[in-house]
A = this chain, B = another copy of it.
Amino acid sequence: MASRPGRPRASGDPYGERDTRQDVLDAAAALFCTVGFTSTSTRSVAERAGVRQATIYHHFAGKDAILLELLLGTVRPSVELADALATATATDPADARLWALAHADVRLLTSGPLNLGALYVLPEVAGEQFAEFHAQRDRLRARYDELAAAVVPDGSGAEQGPLVLGLVESVILRRRDSDDLDAGAVADAVADGVLRLLGCDEQRIAAARTAAAALV
């Protein structure tokens, strides 16, 4: 999926703005995940993307802004799904909504050729310039906590919230160990595991899985 210089531009975007932006993101992602963030210069991103360095600065304020956009891509779709599940489908059981969220989140984190979640632990990501990423991830964490609390209303569910998010995000570490994960099977296993972690029995998990399919 790494972009090649000079590839044909999509129609409907005659100046190739969208493609160029995506080429820069793809090139930066490949370099950040293989060479490392610190060792990657905007110049090397430009070379890999097949664009001039000035073109990068036309689209992004700099290397941090590129990393921020890559990080947001690993969390924003899950936040949007969590928000949609929290409002539109409040009549559906919480276990089905949690199964659906965990499943989609694992699919997102295991999608694409690069393990972008591994960038979470970069020392640089602790900085203020990544506040938007942390805010989105805090929001996602809060949604997991809410759903876990709703699945186990006796109060122990809320305590399990961090374990639930941990189990979902552990696929980031698993991708480091194996580059041929069966993403669909892993997503099923993790989503089932999330409910098992909350004490649901197999019958309830099977029902949640079926109900989740109608939700997304």
Contact = CB atoms under 8 A, between A and B. Distances in A.
When all copies of this chain in the complex are counted, the total is 2
Interface residues on A, range: 35 or more
A13 to B, nearest CB: 32
Contact of A118 (B121, B141, B189): B121
Nearest to A181: B162
B163 A169 contact: no
Interface string A168-204: 0111111011000000000001100100111100100
Most buried by B among A126, A137, A189, A193: A193
A57 interface: no
B36 A122 contact: yes
A66 B152 CA distance: 46
A193 B122 CA distance: 27
Given A34-B123, A120-B176, 18 more contacts: A35-B123, A36-B122, A36-B123, A36-B124, A121-B173, A121-B176, A141-B177, A160-B189, A165-B170, A166-B173, A166-B174, A167-B197, A169-B173, A170-B173, A172-B173, A173-B173, A196-B198, A197-B197
A18 to B, nearest CB: 28
A163 B176 contact: no
Contacts of A141: 177
A191 to B, nearest CB: 11
Contacts of A169: 170, 173
Contacts of A111: none
A183 to B, nearest CB: 13
A66 B159 CA distance: 38
